[in-house]
Amino acid sequence: MNYESFKYTSEDGVGHLVLNKGEDLNKMTMNFWYELPKILNEVDRDASLRVLILTSTGKHFCAGMDLKNFGTLGNDAEKKTNVPDKARIGENLYRVAKELQDMLSKLEKLRIPVLAGIQGGCIGGGLDLVTAADMRFASKDAFFCIQEVNIGMAADIGTLQRLPRVIPEGKVRELAYTGRRMPADEALETGLVNKVYESQEDMVSGLKEMAAVIASKSPLAVYGTKAILNFSRDHTIAEGLEYNALWSGAMLPQEDMAEAMMSNMEKRDPEFKDMQEIKDYGKSSAK
């Protein structure tokens, strides 16, 4: 399927999703939000995939929301009724925020890891996007900015919830209150990114190398690790341990464990079966 705001390809168990509107700073337009869930559903249902790389084209990774598309939502709701009902306008904006939050949370809920590569600016909604990834990497020209405070609002689709789980809370508050830019070296120092590369090309090459390593592992083991880490992050240690034990009791991949041990004894690369395909129950089977 062809997309306007993205380019998507897959090869050898690795999906590669590219923000493809570099000439427009990869802004999050209405079309961006229309296409993103369709692509992520496609990714989630592809049983052959083991990992997803997320990068972009152009000078900047993402300049955030396209405000000319979203800046009049409240006014539009008011014009439809011709009544200045603040409660109904507020309810409309609440639903929009929830829908956008859910779209980005889909990245976090994928059963495969997501590796984000950032060059240039990662601003506002772009930061919301990459904080939903499993890991982030940057070229040395990258910078990160919680832009919302600079335009008179609080960030509302993920950064304020996820970023404190990645970097120290005091640093999050500093960035969120001031709206300043965090350069790549500071992002590395605080743990927001795993590695800084000299160029975007080097970064993409490094991402592909890491993705190939992850893709060589048992997909069920990787999925289980991601699910357990995400659950444990949001719960107490005791609850995380309980979830971990339940997961192992239900989905311990004994066949994959045997293959890993056998391949090691035989001095060969292991061969793990793909996950089961997720059926689309939303599609009618009627002919």
Answer for the pair 213, 194: CB distance below 8 angstroms, yes or no.
no
Do 88 and 168 lie in a common domain? yes
- What's the chain's average pLDDT? 93
Which parts of 69-198 are beta strand (E)? 114-118, 121-123, 135-139, 143-145, 181-183, 196-197
Give the pLDDT score at 68: 82
Which parts of the chain are beta strand (E)? 6-11, 14-19, 51-56, 114-118, 121-123, 135-139, 143-145, 181-183, 196-197
At 81, the pLDDT band (50, 70, 90 cuts) reads low
SS3 content of the chain, % helix, strand, coil (to 5): 50, 15, 35
Within a domain: residue 232? yes
Within a domain: residue 197? yes
Within a domain: residue 185? yes
Do 224 and 94 lie in a common domain? no
Within a domain: residue 1? no
Q: Is the pLDDT of residue 165 over 90?
A: yes
Q: Which of 190, 215, 240 is the last residue of a domain?
A: 215
The model's pTM: 0.91
Give the pLDDT score at 276: 87
Do 210 and 141 lie in a common domain? yes
pLDDT tens-place string over residues 98-134: 999 999 999 999 999 999 999 999 999 999 999 999 9
Domain CATH number, residue 185:
3.90.226.10
Q: Which of 215, 239, 268 is the last residue of a domain?
A: 215
Do 227 and 108 lie in a common domain? no
pLDDT tens-place string over residues 168-211: 999 999 999 999 999 999 999 999 999 999 999 999 999 999 99
Higher-scoring residue by pLDDT: 14, 276: 14
Higher-scoring residue by pLDDT: 67, 82: 67
Do 135 and 69 lie in a common domain? yes
| Total domains present in the chain | 2
Q: For residue 95, what are the domain limits?
A: 6-215
Do 101 and 47 lie in a common domain? yes
Within a domain: residue 60? yes
Answer for the pair 168, 190: CB distance below 8 angstroms, yes or no.
yes
Give the pLDDT score at 287: 46
At 84, the pLDDT band (50, 70, 90 cuts) reads low
Q: Looking at this protein, which amino acid is placed at residue 44?
A: D
